Amino acid sequence: MVHLSNFTRKIRPRKTLIQGKMRNRVVGEIIDILKDYRLSVFESEGPIRASIRSVLCLAGNGWQPSDDESAALISAAFDKMGAKRPTWFQGQRQYTSGKERCLHCSCDLPDEMIANRERYCSFICKNAIALCKPDLNRYANRQAYAHSWYVLSHLTAPERACRQCTTPYRSAYADQKFCSYDCANIAQTNPTRHRTCGQCQAAFVDHQKGGRRQQYCSVACRMVAWKTSEFECCVCSKTFEAKHGNARFCGPKCRNTWHYRKRIAEAKAEPTPGSILPFPTISPAVFDREFQIAA
């Protein structure tokens, strides 16, 4: 049976053609060119992308890897510059006219039409936009629909109590739990994790996971709070403090030394008379032969 993966295209990670210090240098040069703009920082994006793609293609690379690399370099330059790409509607001519002008003929709208949030001065302009620019008409209709839906849903929604400050509020969204962003931010900080140290009474944030509760703000406070006793090391006879009552060694070095000496002593020890030695494991045939010889 032929597997379906043989007919699907395997997506491979994009190969970076320019790396290291050379990449940073190229991004810096692109930023210098983009800063020399007249109207918008994105006005030279097309020519720069085409030139970089041309240079990479002439260097022996494929068209698609060269285009991907040029797009990645320009995106890195825009990210370092902090440039935010405008939306589709912000790129239209009607975006600069404002809500007090018609989206089609840019004439001034009456105050009543502005109060009713109408964007066209007449049905002629509205039909013209619907026929010539359906995307712009769809955007205006979507904005009007969203605004009217939110206003009606907000007025008809039942009152509910905020989970943080218990203030009654109304919301058009059924899954909203807080009355404001401030209450939501306070609730998300998880105030139960803000605790007081059991030793120095200082405030700290618990970072323990897995259901464990942190009781002290630092290791120093934890060591002071523990009830320690003095013990004598079995190897070096050094006095040390420990919490547990069966402490025998002052550190891992003495513990390893004690176990090493114990293994050496057990290996050199000879069996005493009357001790039971382990029975050797032999096959049944060898056991029968040895028994016949002894008989």
Average pLDDT in the 249-263 region?
86
Average pLDDT in the 215-222 region?
83
CA distances from 33 to 2, 45, 75, 190 (A): 53, 10, 14, 47
pLDDT at residue 239, as a whole number: 83
Q: Inform me whether the pLDDT recorded for 285 exceeds 50.
A: yes
> At a CB cut-off of 8 Å and minimum separation 6, what does 247 contact?
231, 240
Average pLDDT in the 116-131 region?
80
pLDDT at residue 191, as a whole number: 60
Q: Inform me whether the pLDDT recorded for 32 exceeds 80.
A: yes
Say which DSSP state 229 is in: E
- pLDDT tier at 24, thresholds 50, 70, 90: confident
